[in-house]
Structure 1
Amino acid sequence: MGPLIPNGVIPYEWNNIIAIIIGIVFGFVLEASGFSSSRKLAGVFYGYDFAVLKVFFTAALVSLIGILYMDYLGYINMEQLYVHPTYLWGAIIGGVIMGVGFVSAGFCPGTSLCAVAIGKIDAIVYVIGIMVGIFIFSELYTVFQPLYEGYFYGNITLMDSFGINRYWFVFVFTIIAILAFVISDLIRKRRKKIFY
Protein backbone atom coordinates (compact mmCIF):
# COMPACT_ATOMS: atom_id res chain seq x y z
CA MET A 1 0.00 0.00 0.00
CA GLY A 2 0.94 3.64 -0.11
CA PRO A 3 3.45 5.09 2.38
CA LEU A 4 0.70 6.85 4.36
CA ILE A 5 -1.14 3.58 5.12
CA PRO A 6 0.69 1.61 7.82
CA ASN A 7 0.97 -2.16 7.43
CA GLY A 8 -2.03 -3.92 8.90
CA VAL A 9 -4.56 -1.07 8.49
CA ILE A 10 -5.78 -2.48 5.18
CA PRO A 11 -5.34 -6.25 4.71
CA TYR A 12 -2.86 -7.25 1.99
CA GLU A 13 -5.59 -9.22 0.18
CA TRP A 14 -7.37 -5.94 -0.59
CA ASN A 15 -4.49 -4.58 -2.69
CA ASN A 16 -5.87 -5.91 -5.99
CA ILE A 17 -9.42 -4.79 -5.23
CA ILE A 18 -8.21 -1.27 -4.37
CA ALA A 19 -6.07 -1.25 -7.55
CA ILE A 20 -9.12 -2.19 -9.66
CA ILE A 21 -11.22 0.55 -8.02
CA ILE A 22 -8.47 3.13 -8.62
CA GLY A 23 -8.16 1.92 -12.24
CA ILE A 24 -11.91 2.30 -12.85
CA VAL A 25 -11.92 5.80 -11.35
CA PHE A 26 -8.84 6.75 -13.40
CA GLY A 27 -10.45 5.43 -16.60
CA PHE A 28 -13.65 7.34 -15.83
CA VAL A 29 -11.70 10.57 -15.31
CA LEU A 30 -9.77 10.02 -18.57
CA GLU A 31 -12.99 9.47 -20.50
CA ALA A 32 -14.81 12.37 -18.82
CA SER A 33 -11.85 14.65 -19.68
CA GLY A 34 -12.04 13.67 -23.35
CA PHE A 35 -8.76 11.78 -23.31
CA SER A 36 -10.24 8.88 -25.25
CA SER A 37 -10.44 11.18 -28.29
CA SER A 38 -7.50 10.82 -30.66
CA ARG A 39 -8.18 14.33 -32.02
CA LYS A 40 -7.87 15.87 -28.57
CA LEU A 41 -4.69 13.94 -27.80
CA ALA A 42 -3.01 14.67 -31.15
CA GLY A 43 -4.03 18.34 -30.87
CA VAL A 44 -0.88 19.14 -28.90
CA PHE A 45 1.25 18.22 -31.93
CA TYR A 46 -0.85 20.33 -34.31
CA GLY A 47 -1.25 23.35 -32.02
CA TYR A 48 -5.01 23.42 -31.50
CA ASP A 49 -5.43 21.67 -28.12
CA PHE A 50 -2.87 21.66 -25.32
CA ALA A 51 -4.90 19.79 -22.69
CA VAL A 52 -2.46 16.85 -22.73
CA LEU A 53 0.55 19.10 -22.10
CA LYS A 54 -1.22 20.87 -19.24
CA VAL A 55 -2.51 17.68 -17.61
CA PHE A 56 0.85 15.90 -17.73
CA PHE A 57 2.81 18.92 -16.52
CA THR A 58 0.29 19.43 -13.69
CA ALA A 59 0.39 15.74 -12.71
CA ALA A 60 4.20 15.72 -12.68
CA LEU A 61 4.37 18.92 -10.60
CA VAL A 62 1.71 17.90 -8.08
CA SER A 63 3.28 14.49 -7.51
CA LEU A 64 6.82 15.91 -7.32
CA ILE A 65 5.88 18.65 -4.86
CA GLY A 66 3.75 16.17 -2.87
CA ILE A 67 6.64 13.71 -2.57
CA LEU A 68 9.00 16.50 -1.48
CA TYR A 69 6.57 17.68 1.20
CA MET A 70 5.99 14.13 2.47
CA ASP A 71 9.76 13.62 2.59
CA TYR A 72 10.20 16.93 4.44
CA LEU A 73 7.47 16.01 6.95
CA GLY A 74 9.00 12.56 7.49
CA TYR A 75 6.18 10.46 6.03
CA ILE A 76 8.43 8.95 3.36
CA ASN A 77 12.14 8.78 2.64
CA MET A 78 12.92 9.87 -0.91
CA GLU A 79 16.21 7.98 -0.82
CA GLN A 80 14.26 4.71 -0.52
CA LEU A 81 11.94 5.34 -3.49
CA TYR A 82 12.49 3.13 -6.51
CA VAL A 83 14.06 4.87 -9.51
CA HIS A 84 13.80 2.99 -12.78
CA PRO A 85 17.24 2.26 -14.28
CA THR A 86 18.27 4.37 -17.27
CA TYR A 87 19.34 2.63 -20.45
CA LEU A 88 20.02 5.49 -22.87
CA TRP A 89 19.60 3.65 -26.19
CA GLY A 90 16.44 1.90 -25.02
CA ALA A 91 15.00 5.22 -23.83
CA ILE A 92 15.81 7.03 -27.09
CA ILE A 93 14.56 4.30 -29.43
CA GLY A 94 11.50 3.61 -27.27
CA GLY A 95 10.75 7.34 -27.13
CA VAL A 96 10.93 7.64 -30.92
CA ILE A 97 8.63 4.63 -31.41
CA MET A 98 6.20 5.96 -28.79
CA GLY A 99 6.29 9.47 -30.31
CA VAL A 100 5.64 8.26 -33.85
CA GLY A 101 2.80 6.07 -32.59
CA PHE A 102 1.32 8.94 -30.59
CA VAL A 103 1.42 11.40 -33.50
CA SER A 104 0.16 8.95 -36.14
CA ALA A 105 -2.61 7.31 -34.09
CA GLY A 106 -3.42 10.01 -31.56
CA PHE A 107 -3.19 7.64 -28.59
CA CYS A 108 -0.69 6.68 -25.93
CA PRO A 109 -0.94 3.16 -24.46
CA GLY A 110 -3.07 4.25 -21.49
CA THR A 111 -5.55 6.41 -23.38
CA SER A 112 -5.86 3.76 -26.11
CA LEU A 113 -7.19 1.27 -23.54
CA CYS A 114 -9.65 3.91 -22.33
CA ALA A 115 -10.84 4.36 -25.93
CA VAL A 116 -11.06 0.57 -26.43
CA ALA A 117 -13.36 0.40 -23.39
CA ILE A 118 -15.87 2.65 -25.16
CA GLY A 119 -15.54 0.72 -28.45
CA LYS A 120 -13.43 3.00 -30.68
CA ILE A 121 -12.23 1.00 -33.68
CA ASP A 122 -9.06 3.05 -34.26
CA ALA A 123 -8.04 2.41 -30.64
CA ILE A 124 -8.69 -1.32 -31.04
CA VAL A 125 -6.37 -1.37 -34.07
CA TYR A 126 -3.78 0.63 -32.09
CA VAL A 127 -3.91 -1.81 -29.15
CA ILE A 128 -3.58 -4.78 -31.52
CA GLY A 129 -0.47 -3.03 -32.91
CA ILE A 130 0.91 -2.67 -29.38
CA MET A 131 0.33 -6.37 -28.72
CA VAL A 132 2.04 -7.35 -31.98
CA GLY A 133 4.99 -5.10 -31.08
CA ILE A 134 5.24 -6.63 -27.60
CA PHE A 135 5.12 -10.13 -29.09
CA ILE A 136 7.86 -9.35 -31.64
CA PHE A 137 10.05 -7.71 -28.98
CA SER A 138 9.66 -10.61 -26.54
CA GLU A 139 10.31 -13.27 -29.19
CA LEU A 140 13.38 -11.46 -30.54
CA TYR A 141 14.61 -10.14 -27.18
CA THR A 142 18.09 -11.62 -27.59
CA VAL A 143 18.44 -9.68 -30.87
CA PHE A 144 17.22 -6.41 -29.32
CA GLN A 145 18.99 -6.86 -25.96
CA PRO A 146 22.23 -4.99 -26.85
CA LEU A 147 20.17 -1.96 -27.93
CA TYR A 148 17.71 -2.29 -25.05
CA GLU A 149 20.47 -2.41 -22.44
CA GLY A 150 22.91 -0.09 -24.23
CA TYR A 151 24.54 2.78 -22.33
CA PHE A 152 23.40 1.86 -18.81
CA TYR A 153 23.51 4.91 -16.52
CA GLY A 154 22.12 3.33 -13.36
CA ASN A 155 19.18 4.52 -11.27
CA ILE A 156 19.58 8.24 -11.90
CA THR A 157 17.12 11.12 -11.90
CA LEU A 158 17.17 14.48 -13.70
CA MET A 159 18.29 16.06 -10.43
CA ASP A 160 21.28 13.67 -10.37
CA SER A 161 22.06 14.37 -14.03
CA PHE A 162 22.12 18.15 -13.58
CA GLY A 163 23.69 17.92 -10.13
CA ILE A 164 21.37 20.48 -8.55
CA ASN A 165 19.48 20.62 -5.26
CA ARG A 166 16.06 18.93 -5.45
CA TYR A 167 14.24 22.08 -4.25
CA TRP A 168 15.88 24.26 -6.88
CA PHE A 169 15.02 21.62 -9.48
CA VAL A 170 11.33 21.75 -8.49
CA PHE A 171 11.39 25.55 -8.59
CA VAL A 172 12.92 25.60 -12.11
CA PHE A 173 10.53 22.84 -13.27
CA THR A 174 7.57 24.89 -11.97
CA ILE A 175 8.74 27.99 -13.89
CA ILE A 176 9.12 25.86 -17.07
CA ALA A 177 5.58 24.51 -16.59
CA ILE A 178 4.11 28.01 -16.13
CA LEU A 179 5.93 29.22 -19.25
CA ALA A 180 4.67 26.19 -21.19
CA PHE A 181 1.08 26.96 -20.08
CA VAL A 182 1.36 30.63 -21.10
CA ILE A 183 3.02 29.90 -24.46
CA SER A 184 0.53 27.13 -25.30
CA ASP A 185 -2.38 29.48 -24.54
CA LEU A 186 -0.85 32.16 -26.80
CA ILE A 187 -0.42 29.63 -29.63
CA ARG A 188 -3.99 28.34 -29.21
CA LYS A 189 -5.46 31.87 -29.23
CA ARG A 190 -3.39 32.86 -32.25
CA ARG A 191 -4.42 29.72 -34.13
CA LYS A 192 -8.06 30.33 -33.20
CA LYS A 193 -7.91 33.85 -34.70
CA ILE A 194 -6.37 32.53 -37.93
CA PHE A 195 -8.93 29.74 -38.44
CA TYR A 196 -12.13 31.42 -37.18
Structure 2
Amino acid sequence: MGPLIPNGFLSYEWNIIIAVLIGLAFGFILEASGFSSSRKLAGVFYGYDFAVLKVFFTAALVSVIGLYYMDYLGWINMSMLYVHPTYLWGAIIGGAIMGIGFVAGGFCPGTSICAVAIGKLDAWVYVIGIMIGILIFSEAFPIFEKIYNGYYLGNITLVDSFELPASWIILAVTLLALVAFFVSDIVRKRVKKVFY
Protein backbone atom coordinates (compact mmCIF):
# COMPACT_ATOMS: atom_id res chain seq x y z
CA MET A 1 0.00 0.00 0.00
CA GLY A 2 2.54 2.56 -1.04
CA PRO A 3 6.12 3.23 -0.07
CA LEU A 4 5.46 4.08 3.61
CA ILE A 5 3.96 0.69 4.54
CA PRO A 6 6.34 -2.28 4.18
CA ASN A 7 5.26 -5.25 2.05
CA GLY A 8 3.55 -7.92 4.10
CA PHE A 9 2.61 -5.52 6.90
CA LEU A 10 -1.01 -5.37 5.75
CA SER A 11 -3.04 -8.19 4.23
CA TYR A 12 -4.31 -7.98 0.64
CA GLU A 13 -7.84 -7.32 1.92
CA TRP A 14 -6.70 -4.35 4.05
CA ASN A 15 -4.78 -2.95 1.08
CA ILE A 16 -8.01 -3.04 -0.95
CA ILE A 17 -10.04 -1.43 1.87
CA ILE A 18 -7.47 1.36 2.28
CA ALA A 19 -7.36 1.91 -1.51
CA VAL A 20 -11.17 2.23 -1.63
CA LEU A 21 -11.15 4.67 1.30
CA ILE A 22 -8.46 6.79 -0.38
CA GLY A 23 -10.50 6.74 -3.60
CA LEU A 24 -13.66 7.84 -1.76
CA ALA A 25 -11.74 10.63 -0.02
CA PHE A 26 -10.26 11.77 -3.33
CA GLY A 27 -13.70 11.79 -4.98
CA PHE A 28 -15.17 13.73 -2.06
CA ILE A 29 -12.39 16.32 -2.28
CA LEU A 30 -12.91 16.65 -6.06
CA GLU A 31 -16.64 17.19 -5.55
CA ALA A 32 -16.17 19.59 -2.62
CA SER A 33 -13.71 21.60 -4.74
CA GLY A 34 -16.27 21.93 -7.54
CA PHE A 35 -14.43 19.64 -9.94
CA SER A 36 -17.61 17.82 -10.88
CA SER A 37 -18.75 21.03 -12.62
CA SER A 38 -18.00 21.06 -16.34
CA ARG A 39 -18.22 24.88 -16.33
CA LYS A 40 -15.52 25.15 -13.67
CA LEU A 41 -13.28 22.62 -15.42
CA ALA A 42 -13.64 24.18 -18.87
CA GLY A 43 -13.10 27.65 -17.37
CA VAL A 44 -9.34 27.23 -17.62
CA PHE A 45 -9.62 27.05 -21.43
CA TYR A 46 -11.89 30.10 -21.63
CA GLY A 47 -9.99 32.19 -19.11
CA TYR A 48 -12.64 32.74 -16.43
CA ASP A 49 -11.64 30.11 -13.83
CA PHE A 50 -8.14 28.76 -13.21
CA ALA A 51 -8.89 26.61 -10.15
CA VAL A 52 -8.00 23.43 -12.08
CA LEU A 53 -4.61 24.80 -13.11
CA LYS A 54 -3.83 25.94 -9.57
CA VAL A 55 -4.98 22.75 -7.85
CA PHE A 56 -3.16 20.37 -10.17
CA PHE A 57 0.04 22.43 -10.24
CA THR A 58 -0.04 22.63 -6.44
CA ALA A 59 -0.73 18.88 -6.12
CA ALA A 60 2.19 18.04 -8.43
CA LEU A 61 4.57 20.32 -6.51
CA VAL A 62 3.51 19.09 -3.07
CA SER A 63 3.86 15.48 -4.26
CA VAL A 64 7.31 15.86 -5.81
CA ILE A 65 8.70 17.92 -2.93
CA GLY A 66 7.22 15.46 -0.43
CA LEU A 67 8.65 12.46 -2.28
CA TYR A 68 12.14 13.94 -2.43
CA TYR A 69 12.06 14.90 1.25
CA MET A 70 10.93 11.37 2.16
CA ASP A 71 13.77 10.03 0.00
CA TYR A 72 16.20 12.38 1.77
CA LEU A 73 14.96 11.15 5.17
CA GLY A 74 15.33 7.54 4.06
CA TRP A 75 11.61 6.74 4.27
CA ILE A 76 11.36 5.78 0.61
CA ASN A 77 13.79 4.96 -2.18
CA MET A 78 13.11 7.11 -5.25
CA SER A 79 14.97 4.67 -7.48
CA MET A 80 12.32 2.05 -6.61
CA LEU A 81 9.36 4.16 -7.76
CA TYR A 82 7.78 3.11 -11.05
CA VAL A 83 8.12 5.54 -13.96
CA HIS A 84 5.66 4.95 -16.78
CA PRO A 85 7.41 4.47 -20.15
CA THR A 86 7.20 7.31 -22.67
CA TYR A 87 5.90 6.66 -26.17
CA LEU A 88 6.12 10.12 -27.72
CA TRP A 89 3.61 9.83 -30.59
CA GLY A 90 1.02 8.11 -28.42
CA ALA A 91 1.44 10.79 -25.74
CA ILE A 92 1.13 13.67 -28.22
CA ILE A 93 -1.86 12.28 -30.14
CA GLY A 94 -3.59 10.93 -27.03
CA GLY A 95 -3.02 14.24 -25.22
CA ALA A 96 -4.48 16.18 -28.16
CA ILE A 97 -7.58 13.93 -28.26
CA MET A 98 -8.06 14.24 -24.50
CA GLY A 99 -7.57 18.01 -24.67
CA ILE A 100 -10.21 18.36 -27.38
CA GLY A 101 -12.56 16.15 -25.35
CA PHE A 102 -11.84 18.22 -22.23
CA VAL A 103 -12.74 21.49 -23.98
CA ALA A 104 -15.79 20.02 -25.75
CA GLY A 105 -17.21 18.07 -22.81
CA GLY A 106 -15.87 20.02 -19.85
CA PHE A 107 -14.51 16.91 -18.10
CA CYS A 108 -11.34 14.88 -17.92
CA PRO A 109 -11.82 11.11 -17.42
CA GLY A 110 -11.39 11.28 -13.62
CA THR A 111 -13.68 14.24 -13.00
CA SER A 112 -16.33 12.73 -15.30
CA ILE A 113 -16.56 9.71 -12.97
CA CYS A 114 -16.86 12.09 -10.02
CA ALA A 115 -19.73 13.89 -11.78
CA VAL A 116 -21.41 10.58 -12.69
CA ALA A 117 -21.32 9.66 -8.98
CA ILE A 118 -23.52 12.66 -8.17
CA GLY A 119 -25.86 12.02 -11.12
CA LYS A 120 -24.86 14.65 -13.70
CA LEU A 121 -26.34 13.70 -17.09
CA ASP A 122 -23.67 15.48 -19.17
CA ALA A 123 -21.04 13.40 -17.37
CA TRP A 124 -22.94 10.20 -18.24
CA VAL A 125 -22.81 11.20 -21.92
CA TYR A 126 -19.09 11.90 -21.57
CA VAL A 127 -18.37 8.55 -19.87
CA ILE A 128 -20.40 6.65 -22.48
CA GLY A 129 -18.32 8.46 -25.12
CA ILE A 130 -15.13 7.35 -23.35
CA MET A 131 -16.37 3.73 -23.36
CA ILE A 132 -17.22 3.91 -27.07
CA GLY A 133 -13.78 5.38 -27.78
CA ILE A 134 -12.09 2.60 -25.78
CA LEU A 135 -14.11 -0.03 -27.69
CA ILE A 136 -13.20 1.48 -31.08
CA PHE A 137 -9.52 1.80 -30.12
CA SER A 138 -9.27 -1.76 -28.78
CA GLU A 139 -11.02 -3.26 -31.82
CA ALA A 140 -8.90 -1.24 -34.25
CA PHE A 141 -5.65 -1.59 -32.26
CA PRO A 142 -3.72 -3.33 -35.08
CA ILE A 143 -4.27 -0.18 -37.18
CA PHE A 144 -3.06 2.13 -34.39
CA GLU A 145 -0.31 -0.11 -32.98
CA LYS A 146 2.61 1.57 -34.81
CA ILE A 147 1.50 5.00 -33.63
CA TYR A 148 0.76 3.72 -30.11
CA ASN A 149 4.24 2.19 -29.75
CA GLY A 150 5.96 4.83 -31.87
CA TYR A 151 9.06 6.72 -30.77
CA TYR A 152 9.68 4.84 -27.53
CA LEU A 153 11.88 6.85 -25.16
CA GLY A 154 11.94 4.48 -22.19
CA ASN A 155 11.20 5.22 -18.53
CA ILE A 156 12.51 8.78 -18.60
CA THR A 157 11.95 11.71 -16.25
CA LEU A 158 12.70 15.44 -16.52
CA VAL A 159 15.86 14.78 -14.49
CA ASP A 160 16.98 12.28 -17.15
CA SER A 161 15.97 14.51 -20.06
CA PHE A 162 17.71 17.68 -18.88
CA GLU A 163 20.56 15.92 -17.04
CA LEU A 164 20.15 18.28 -14.10
CA PRO A 165 19.82 17.54 -10.38
CA ALA A 166 16.24 16.96 -9.22
CA SER A 167 16.44 20.02 -6.95
CA TRP A 168 16.96 22.31 -9.96
CA ILE A 169 14.04 20.74 -11.84
CA ILE A 170 11.80 21.15 -8.77
CA LEU A 171 12.89 24.79 -8.40
CA ALA A 172 12.20 25.46 -12.10
CA VAL A 173 8.73 23.86 -11.94
CA THR A 174 7.96 25.82 -8.74
CA LEU A 175 8.93 29.09 -10.45
CA LEU A 176 6.89 28.09 -13.50
CA ALA A 177 3.88 27.46 -11.24
CA LEU A 178 4.24 30.86 -9.55
CA VAL A 179 4.41 32.59 -12.95
CA ALA A 180 1.38 30.59 -14.15
CA PHE A 181 -0.59 31.58 -11.03
CA PHE A 182 0.31 35.26 -11.51
CA VAL A 183 -0.52 35.30 -15.24
CA SER A 184 -3.75 33.34 -14.75
CA ASP A 185 -4.96 35.91 -12.21
CA ILE A 186 -4.32 38.72 -14.72
CA VAL A 187 -6.15 36.81 -17.49
CA ARG A 188 -9.10 35.97 -15.21
CA LYS A 189 -9.53 39.64 -14.18
CA ARG A 190 -9.47 40.81 -17.80
CA VAL A 191 -11.93 38.13 -18.95
CA LYS A 192 -14.20 38.97 -16.00
CA LYS A 193 -14.29 42.63 -17.04
CA VAL A 194 -15.24 41.71 -20.62
CA PHE A 195 -18.02 39.22 -19.79
CA TYR A 196 -19.38 40.50 -16.48
Instruction: Flag whether TM exceeds 0.5 (same fold).
Output: yes
Which whole-Å deviations, capped at 9, do the CAs of 1:82-134 have from their partners, x for residues lacking one? Answer: 11000011001100100000000000000000111111111101000100111
SS of 2:107 mapped into structure 1? coil
Aligned length: 196
**Residue equivalent to 1:167:** 167
- The unaligned stretches of length 5 or more in structure 1 are none
- The reply to whether residue 55 of structure 1 matches residue 21 of structure 2 is no
Partner Cα separation in structure 2 for residue 96 and residue 45 of structure 1:
14
AA aligned to 2:9 is V
**Residue equivalent to 1:191:** 191
Q: CA deviation at 1:195?
A: 3.0
- The unaligned stretches of length 5 or more in structure 2 are none
Q: CA deviation at 1:78?
A: 1.0
- The reply to whether residue 84 of structure 1 matches residue 88 of structure 2 is no
Within a 5 Å distance, the mapping from 1:16-165 to structure 2 comes to: 16-165=16-165
Partner Cα separation in structure 2 for residue 19 and residue 174 of structure 1:
29
CA-atom RMSD in angstroms: 1.0
Partner Cα separation in structure 2 for residue 145 and residue 7 of structure 1:
36
Q: CA deviation at 1:19?
A: 1.1
Q: CA deviation at 1:158?
A: 1.6
Q: CA deviation at 1:194?
A: 2.9
SS of 2:153 mapped into structure 1? strand
Q: CA deviation at 1:5?
A: 1.4
Partner Cα separation in structure 1 for residue 86 and residue 7 of structure 2:
31
